[in-house]
Amino acid sequence: MNKYILGFLVLGVILSPLAFATCTDTDGGIVPSIFGITTWYVGLNMYTANDTCFTSAVLSEQYCTGFPFFAHASTNVSCDYRCLSGRCINASESCTDTDGGIVKNVTGTVTKWIGGTPSSYTDYCTGNYTLREYYCNGGYNATSTILNCTGLCSVGKCN
């Protein structure tokens, strides 16, 4: 009977790291068009890896393998157009800014293209001394920030 107990103990020690092996991927697997963060555990140790651009045309895609180990793996994916900010983007995704970025003293217009459809956003004053400044974030995404002006804000720029 003792050798059966010893056998179960040895088997438990060998398999115990697998009991703690879990893995999650925020983009759901190998999905090159979505940036993802993969988190996995080996025993009690946690590891993370982000999807990253290996080159301007190759994505290093992180993902979880399946049963029985639920471990982390990665693969290189060739992007049809280009890799930017840890994801493959297509030619119809782009963002342009007429004032070249966050520039308080120039009124600019950001145009974001997705699937051939443009959306435009022009800098504007939110108050006498505050400006909503639009800019391209990551080369393809339009975003904005509120900036304080040292002088008056008028016509979408700080004076």
Taking 60 as the threshold, does the pLDDT of residue 101 lie above it?
yes
Of the chain, the end-to-end C-alpha distance in Å amounts to 88
81 φ, ψ to 5°?
Answer: -110, -70
Helices (H) and strands (E) in the chain, counts: 1, 16
> pTM of the entire structure?
0.54
Residue 133 CA to residue 125 CA, distance in Å, equals 9
Residue 22: CB atoms within 10 Å? 13
Strand partners, 59: 53, 77
- The residue among 70, 74, 17 whose CA lies nearest residue 51 is 74
Q: Where are the domains of the chain?
A: 2-88, 94-149
Quote the radius of gyration of the chain (alpha carbons, Å): 25
Contact 56, 16 (CB under 8 A): no
pLDDT tens digits for range 15-63: 444 455 689 999 999 999 899 999 998 888 999 999 999 998 999 999 9
Percent of residues, the chain, with pLDDT higher than 90: 56
Taking 80 as the threshold, does the pLDDT of residue 131 lie above it?
yes
